[in-house]
Amino acid sequence: MILQRLFAVVLLALCAILAVMAWPYQAAFSYEPVGPRAYPLLMLGLMSLGLLYLAIRPTPIVRKDDEPELDRQTLIKITCCVGLLVLFAATFEVLGFILSAILVGIPMARLYGGRWLHSTLVVVGMSVFLYWLFDRVMDVPLPLGLLSVLEN
């Protein structure tokens, strides 16, 4: 239990350091309604609330019998997820949102048991829908990358 609390306190301190680093950030132009500083501060604030709860909660978190073990297979899945997210970040600008989301989404769906056809249909549909939602409805421009030739 003491290790859980220590872990939460260390991450809480890291969140505070990152918030201090993010606070003075000002972009030369603002392409979002709330500005570029609000998102990281909001995420750090939410993380801090969760970590604060973990640090001061009255009882330890105990693993129940129906929860999966943290075995080799689970660690491999976690590593694959992190690797796919890094791949998404690396290809986001070059390939664009839609293609990088498809490139990462299909293996992610397959990793968690999705069938090829279902995974492909859902990921392609969600990628296009999310691009439309962010770009047209919320007015948050996302890069098209290689698909920019399809733009008007």
Six-digit token pair at 90?
A: 């690396």
Same-domain status, 106 and 124:
yes
Q: Mean of the pLDDT values across residues 12-29? A: 83
- One domain for residues 151 and 91: yes
88 and 151, same domain (yes or no): yes
Contacts of residue 18, Cβ cutoff 8 Å, sequence gap at least 6: 40, 44
Is the full-model pTM beyond 0.85? no
CA distance 22 to 20: 6
Q: Is 78 in the same domain as 117?
A: yes
Give me the percent of the chain exceeding a pLDDT of 90.
Answer: 39
Task: Look up residue 74 and give its amino acid.
Answer: T
**Pair (145, 75) in one structural domain:** yes
Tell me: do 3 and 44 sit in the same domain.
yes
Last residue of some domain: 62, 81, 104?
A: 62
3 and 23 inside one domain: yes
Domain boundary among 62, 85, 110: 62
Residue 56: give the domain boundaries.
1-62
Predicted local distance difference test score (pLDDT) of residue 150: 72
Determine the residue type at 42: L
Looking at the structure, tell me whether residues 14 and 85 fall in a common domain: no
Higher pLDDT, 151 or 49: 49
For 27-85, what is each residue's pLDDT tens digit? Answer: 666 566 666 677 788 888 999 999 999 888 877 666 666 666 778 888 898 899 999 99
96 shares a domain with 70: yes
Tell me: pLDDT of 109 over 90.
yes
Instruction: Compute the Cα dihedral for 31, 35, 39, 44 and give only its sign.
Output: positive
In this structure, the answer to whether residues 73 and 30 fall within a common structural domain is: no
Give the closest residue to 33 by CA, choosing from 142, 141, 140: 140
The number of domains in the chain is 2
What percentage of the chain has pLDDT greater than the value 70?
A: 84
Write down the residue that tokens 């999705």 correspond to.
114
Q: Assess whether 5 and 72 both reside in one domain.
A: no
pLDDT at 146: 80
Same domain, 136 and 151: yes
Mean pLDDT of 126-144: 86
